[in-house]
Amino acid sequence: MKIDAQVTPESLRQQIDQFWKVSGQKILAIEKNFDTKQGAPVFTVNGRYTTRGWTEWTQGFQYGSAILQFDATGDTQFLEIGRKNTVEKMAPHITHEGVHDHGFNNASTYGNLLRLIREGKVQADEWEKNFYELALKSSGAVQAMRWTPIKDGGYIYSFNGPHSLFVDTVRSCRIVMLSHALGHMLGGENDVKISLLERAVKHLIATARYSVFYGEGRDHYDISGRTAHECIFNINDGNYRCPNSQQGFSGFTTWTRGLAWAMCGFAEELEFLETISADELKPLIGKDELVKILLKAARATSDFYIRNTATDGIPYWDTGAPGLVNLGDYLNKTSDPYNEHEPVDSSAAAIAAQGLLRLGNYLQKKNDASAAQYTQAGLNVAKTLLTEPYLSTRTDHEGLLLHSVYHRPNGWDNIPKGRKVPCDESSMWGDYHVRELMLYILRLIKKEKYYTFFNCSR
């Protein structure tokens, strides 16, 4: 990346205001046109949202987007869209024991609604508040049930099965942390009380230890900051076996959306740990030691992103994708979503930018001199996403953020007529996270309460 130190949140204000106008139009178009009987909207094909029957991990992003739109604009029609659909359609996600995506679906809906009540932006009676709290408590406990013990801890396993640790799931730790913060725990056999804080902490440590590389000689491809999408364990003896990938090119390359999940997840958990006392963590691990582990992972992944991303802050879908060799010195040029060899992934950029900003904010409070680099990198990515060819302003396209990639190895992404690689399409997670990114910056500009996932817990 080339990082412009002159970009400030205030310098983006006019573009962000325009962004929310476009965003509102997209939300209303999907609400009008998409048939939810077919499932949840996942990604666009020729500008129209379609579904994909893998898991319903994107429905919370659909309704969460409307809630974020209300937060940013105060337009109550979006609050009602988000609130009504959360109550009517999101209940199955609370008790869904078959996925690792509770932090996506339920923190984005029930969590945002409860946050707005706590912040005084939404008036609600006690029963509505209790309803959202109960949903979050239950969701966090159900998520924590997907548990694999290993020799040095444990992890919340992916939908691939107990042997599988996904780097994505670092961001679902927030629902487990929320459930704990709201006073909940997981009940086990014989009424054993299982600490949700303990499971979240152990998962974070396992992800930092196995999913992130640090250039310390772990294997021949050990480059500091790269991530493995999936880590495989032998569930018979708890031993780590190898890196793997479901959506990246290989276990020995870095799928950039997985990298972005790690960046954002570790940074926001560092912020959350500021609310947890050393005494509460003492039975598990020293607080300073835990912070050191998570900060090392956050720094390494963020530094890797900055080093391995095009000058404008937009990454290609995998840093080891075989077609990149045909793009020449692509890291010293702006991203090219219309190239003929490998797609970019704007959704990874939207997620990563929030991680960079949160890491910068965290380090600034610690008076760390490196804070500005991460903050400015995040603002630079946001600036790129606010302009063409990434912001979709066409009224006949339902997507908000163009050039998102879903599953390149499986060939699930639309390749428009006349093109050789996927481009010009959007994803529900990309649209949600670019909204979350712009809300984060807007609240800084307006000097509103600092936006975190755990504002709903206090």
Q: HSE (CB half, 13 Å, CA atoms) of 41?
A: 30
What is the DSSP track for 338-383? T-SS--B-HHHHHHHHHHHHHHHHHHHHTT-TTHHHHHHHHHHHHH
Domain that holds residue 349: 10-457
Tell me, what's the pLDDT at 420? 96
Tell me, what's the pLDDT at 177? 98
Q: Is the dihedral of CA 245, 251, 254, 259 positive or negative?
A: positive
Average pLDDT over every residue of 147-151: 97
Average pLDDT over every residue of 249-264: 98
- Quick check: is 367 in a domain? yes
- Quick check: is 300 in a domain? yes
d(CA 244, CA 16): 38
Residue 150 has pLDDT above 80, yes or no: yes
pLDDT digits (tens, 9 = 90+) for 96-134: 999 999 999 999 999 999 999 999 999 999 999 999 999
Tell me, what's the pLDDT at 390? 98
Residue 56 has pLDDT above 90, yes or no: no
- Quick check: is 404 in a domain? yes
d(CA 308, CA 311): 9
- Quick check: is 65 in a domain? yes
pLDDT digits (tens, 9 = 90+) for 388-412: 999 999 999 999 999 999 999 999 9
pLDDT digits (tens, 9 = 90+) for 426-457: 999 999 999 999 999 999 999 999 999 999 99
- Indicate the SS3 state at residue 230: strand
- Quick check: is 258 in a domain? yes
Residue 415 has pLDDT above 80, yes or no: yes
> For the purposes of burial, counting CB atoms within 10 Å of the CB of 310, is it exposed (0-12), middle (13-18) or buried (19 or more)?
buried
Tell me, what's the pLDDT at 180? 98
Domain total of the chain: 1
Q: What is the pTM of this model?
A: 0.98
pLDDT digits (tens, 9 = 90+) for 186-232: 999 999 999 999 999 999 999 999 999 999 999 999 999 999 999 99
Tell me, what's the pLDDT at 338? 98
CB atoms under 10 Å from CB of 313, counted, come to: 26
- Quick check: is 2 in a domain? no
CATH code: domain of residue 280: 1.50.10.10
- Quick check: is 1 in a domain? no
In percent, the amount of the chain with pLDDT more than 70 equals 100
- Quick check: is 237 in a domain? yes
